[in-house]
Amino acid sequence: MKKILVLCTGNSCRSQLAEGFLRYFAGDKAQIYSAGIETHGVNPKAIATMAEIGIDISGHTSNNVNEYADIDFDYVITVCDNAKESCPYFPTKAQKFHYNFPDPAKAIGTQEEVEAEFRRVREMIKTYCENFVKENLSK
């Protein structure tokens, strides 16, 4: 079984969305982990945005990347430039992937505008994760 780590700055939004989608699309083909350079807690808007489409991430935790130093990952996916640039080095044979998704937690405006940005980023991450599973776990 493949092991996938999704990395972000605070492990609160983008990496949590990606972890939820990767678990959904990969099923029993992979073990999915997410972590951050820092831990900011799981963003309640990320939980709500995923719940809208029937994916429950309310049990996710915000983890520091150092907690996973002993795991031999097959894939590491960074979902923001800061994580890619700041990730502490740990020896791994993992294939590395990167996509800089916008941070919906930084959205400003009315509640409706902020929710719309969370949905927009959710859909971007959904497409990325679905394609990642098709291209890397379906073989």
CATH code of residue 103? 3.40.50.2300
Catalytic residue among 5, 8, 76, 133: 8
Dump pLDDT digits (tens) for 36-82: 988 989 999 999 999 999 999 999 999 999 899 889 999 999 898 77
Of the chain, the percentage scoring pLDDT greater than 90 comes to 76
Is 129 considered catalytic here?
no
- Of 87, 114, 116, 124, the catalytic one is 87
If one counts the domains in the chain, the total is: 1
Q: Indicate if 13 belongs to the active site.
A: no
Domain span at residue 65 reads 2-136
Q: Please report which confidence band the pLDDT of residue 9 belongs to, taking 50, 70 and 90 as the band edges.
A: confident
The DSSP line for the chain is: -EEEEEEESSSSSHHHHHHHHHHHHHGGGEEEEEEESS-----HHHHHHHHTTT---TT----BGGGGTTS--SEEEE-SHHHHHHPPP-----EEEE-----GGG--SSHHHHHHHHHHHHHHHHHHHHHHHHHHT--
Exactly one of 42, 80, 121, 133 is catalytic; name it. 80
